[in-house]
Amino acid sequence: MAIIIYFTIFALVLSGFAIAIKFGVEVDSAAGTAGTIGAAWVATKLTQPLRILATLVLTPIVAKLVERFAPSKPKPPPSIP
């Protein structure tokens, strides 16, 4: 569960930085696009301690929500001796 939450946060932060950089810088070539993604990756790496902290805080909360709203497993039928 924690790995899914961590990578979800990572993807959201990376996308957010890429979009923010893209709107701030006009990119006209493939090299410019690669530069945007690279800059977004560096900015995302700088936020790693905060992302790890967010993962540690959110994992128990999300696990409880999944437990609460996930359909319960049906009980197996009693075995006949």
Q: What share of the chain is helix, strand, coil (3-state, %, to 5)?
A: 75, 0, 25
**pLDDT of amino acid 63:** 92
77 in a domain, yes or no?
Answer: no
**pLDDT of amino acid 77:** 78
Gyration radius from the chain CA atoms? 20
CB of 57 within 8 A of CB of 11? no
74 in a domain, yes or no?
Answer: no
36 in a domain, yes or no?
Answer: yes
50 in a domain, yes or no?
Answer: yes
Report the amino acid identity of residue 47.
T
80 in a domain, yes or no?
Answer: no
Tokens linked to 21? 């950089």
- Please indicate, yes or no, whether the overall pTM of this predicted structure exceeds 0.85: no
How many domains, in total, are found in the chain? 1
**Which single residue is written with the structure tokens 């709107």?**
23
**pLDDT of amino acid 33:** 67
pLDDT 10s digit of each residue in the chain, 81 long?
899 999 999 999 999 988 888 888 555 555 666 778 888 888 899 999 999 999 999 999 999 999 888 877 777 777 776
> Domain of 62?
2-69
